[in-house]
Amino acid sequence: MQITKNVHAIKIPFQVKTDLGLLDRFVYSYLITGESPVLIDTGVSSSDKIIIKYMEAVGLKPEDLSLMILSHSHPDHIGSAPSLKEVSHCPVAAHGGEQSWIEDTELQAKERPVPGFHSLVQGSVPVDMILDEGDEFDLGNLTLEVIHTPGHSRGSISLLLKEEGVLFSGDAIPLKGDLPIYEDYQASLESVHRLKELKNIKWLLGSWDEPHSGDDIIKVMDDALEYLESINEAVQKVNENMAVDKDPLEFCKLVLIELGLPMKVANPIVAESFQENLRYLRNLNKE
């Protein structure tokens, strides 16, 4: 789907196997065309075919890519990176905070056991370029700026295509009612506030959400902040009603009930988000 003159959204449907059945999901990869084409994120392990087919439809070959940027290391963003690297020969760029999990996916599977990890990820890929806050790519006719937006993961980045006012937010903006996933609750809040302050944004392109434009953009960010706060309140409420400490997954299920979310999203990753809220609440009480 073409968004602006030089930005295309490539929608990638996939399924995650969980203990409680199959979870239907989708993720977006984004293609910036123009003088130096760039691919942002690579979907899951089978997404290379969809991405290459899309590129061909707009007159590009994989080897035309000048750069592949990974917004962060999670499976649905790095899944096809090895095969796309092989056909494009272009450098792979990511924030330093994500490097170890991109370059060693077995380490990631061990430290962050996402259900169905190995069916979502082809394998490791070297990070050729380390990105940080404020870095800018000169793409000839376009400029792409890196904004460090941690919280969802420590090295999560957003990208701003200045000339066209397009903000690629990766997974930095939580989607109301969707899987709550963050490793630092406070940083997540701060990152959304940070993105809200950006001026002249015409399009907001997240990985798990449909494209937004105009007044919708601030609404999506406000909804995200409200959602984060409601999660924190639910964690606090469940915690206060508990006589003894519960196992994280059991605790996760109680919070999901409180939030009215389906039980099949209960998994160790979501459970870890709620444990992070507990840490955040304990720190607040200390102050």
**170 or 211, CB closer to Zn ion?**
170
| Residue of this chain nearest to Zn ion (CB atom) | 74
CA distance 42 to 65: 13
**Does 184 sit near Zn ion (CB under 5 A)?**
no
Structure tokens at 210: 């449909």
Find the binder of Zn ion among 4, 42, 74, 173 (CB under 5 A).
74
154 vs 202, beta carbon nearer Zn ion: 154
In the bound complex, what is the minimum distance in angstroms from residue 27's beta carbon to Zn ion?
9
Q: What angle do CA 212, 162, 87 make, to 5 degrees?
A: 85
Query: Between residues 72 and 85, which has the closer beta carbon with respect to Zn ion?
Result: 72
| CA separation for the pair 1, 215 (Å, rounded) | 21
The reply on whether position 85 binds Zn ion by CB under 5 A is no
State yes or no: residue 98 binds Zn ion (CB under 5 A): no
Report in angstroms the alpha-carbon separations of 25 from 9, 120, 207, 236: 16, 12, 11, 29
Determine the Cα–Cα distance for residues 39 and 112; give it in Å rounded to an integer: 25
**209 binds Zn ion, rule: CB under 5 A:** no
Query: How far is the CA of 264 from the CAs of 134, 175, 180, in angstroms?
Result: 39, 17, 13
CA distance 33 to 61: 11
Q: 69 or 254: whose CB is closer to Zn ion? A: 69
Q: Is 148 in the site for Zn ion (CB under 5 A)?
A: no
Query: Do 167 and 216 form a contact (C-beta atoms < 8 A)?
Result: no
| Spacing of C-alpha 196 from chain mean position | 17
**Contacting Zn ion (CB under 5 A), which of 171, 183, 184, 276?**
171
How many positions of this chain bind Zn ion (CB under 5 A)? 2
**Closest approach of Cβ 144 to Zn ion, in Å?**
20
Please, what is the minimum distance in Å from the beta carbon of residue 74 to Zn ion? 3
Q: Which of residues 43-62 bind Zn ion (CB under 5 A)?
A: none
Where do contacts with Zn ion occur on this chain (CB under 5 A)? 74, 171
